[in-house]
Copies of this chain bind each other. A is one copy, B any other.
């Protein structure tokens, strides 16, 4: 089996048996790369830059990592480890999934570049495996694996989609050096032209509403998450009823005070 035939990075041993002791380590390199990516984006984490960060020569990194893509894989798995899923399943699936959702979102917001890595087939690094065990374990007692996978796809889809939006908004703000409201002011001519054209009534409605957001980003996320969890609840057998899920009030019309519909 030649070097190129390792199925993934986790199969390739970090350290060979013989030879001089390595000065650095995969973990150290991964850490440095994450530090740079956090501060300046993933594209700033070039091999030369990472090497400089730990005081090594550029090509030295290739003694530890076969390629930059593989390094990104290492970084991604390290991030999965930041999500605290200890003690799951706790018996209260709603609490568990809320904790997971908050943890995943917080992790993405700490490391926004994660949104730009397109996962290849799941590489099943150690942290990802642990996460799978704990997360899928939450509903494992209640539904089949197929159904569990489907529900988690929905949950993850909601979380990632929402956070992607938060991230790209924040990135644009940083990129342009303008605050969010300044950015809106800058793009005013374009938006205004669209609004004034009268061809986009719903877009207009969104723009008008967005200027007076009722909820903070956190609250928006929490609110939508509760909706998703309600949906999951509906898919579970009654035996799974979560101890403290008595927050199902009659919601119906809860519009703001007298906003007319166009």
Residue ranges of A at the interface with B (Cβ–Cβ < 8 Å): 7-8, 10-11, 115-116, 118-121, 124, 129, 132-133, 136-137, 140-141, 144-147, 149-151, 153-154, 156-162, 164-165, 168-169, 171-172, 175, 183, 186-187, 189-191, 194, 200-203, 205-206, 209, 214-215, 220, 223-224, 227-228, 230-231, 234-235, 237, 251-256, 259, 261
CA distance A133 to B183 in the complex (A): 23
User: Hey, which chain B residues are within 8 Å of A118, CB to CB?
Assistant: 115-116, 164, 168
Contacts of A206 in B (CB 8 A): 132, 136, 145, 149
Chain B proximity of A133: nearest CB distance (Å)? 5
What's the least CB distance linking A73 to chain B, in Å? 12
Instruction: For A237, list chain B residues within 8 Å (CB).
Output: 252-253
Flag if A7 contacts B189 (CB, 8 Å).
yes
Q: Are A129 and B194 in contact (CB under 8 A)?
A: yes
Integer count of this chain's copies in the complex? 2
Identify the closest chain B residue to A252 (Cβ).
B237
User: What is the CB-to-nearest-CB distance from A236 to chain B, in angstroms, rounded to a whole number?
Assistant: 9
Give bound CA distance, A215 to B149, whole Å.
13
Contacting residues, chain B, for A147 (C-beta < 8 A)? 254
Residues of B within 8 A of A223 (CB): 150
Known: A118-B116, A118-B168, A224-B153. A214 touches B256 (CB 8 A): no
Smallest CB separation, A249 vs chain B (Å): 13
* B7 with A186: CB separation less than 8 A: yes
A189 CB, nearest partner CB in chain B, Å = 7
- Determine the distance from Cα of A145 to Cα of B261 in the docked complex, in whole angstroms: 10
Chain B residue at minimum C-beta to C-beta distance from A137: B202
* A160 surroundings in chain B (CB, below 8 A): 157, 160-161
Complex contact A171–B11 (CB within 8 A) = no
Alpha-carbon distance A6/B231, docked complex (angstroms): 43
Q: Would A136 and B175 count as touching, CB distance under 8 A? A: no
From the candidates B144, B161, B172, B187, name the one contacting A153 in the complex (CB within 8 A).
B161
- The 8 Å CB contact of A228, one of B124, B154, B209, B255, is B154
Which residue of B7, B136, B157 contacts A202 across the interface (Cβ within 8 Å)? Answer: B136
Write out the residue numbers on chain B whose beta carbons fall within 8 Å of the beta carbon of A121.
168-169, 172, 183
Q: Is the CB of B7 within 8 A of A190?
A: yes
* Given A8-B190, A231-B227, A132:B172 Cβ within 8 A: no
Determine the distance from Cα of A192 to Cα of B68 in the docked complex, in whole angstroms. Answer: 27
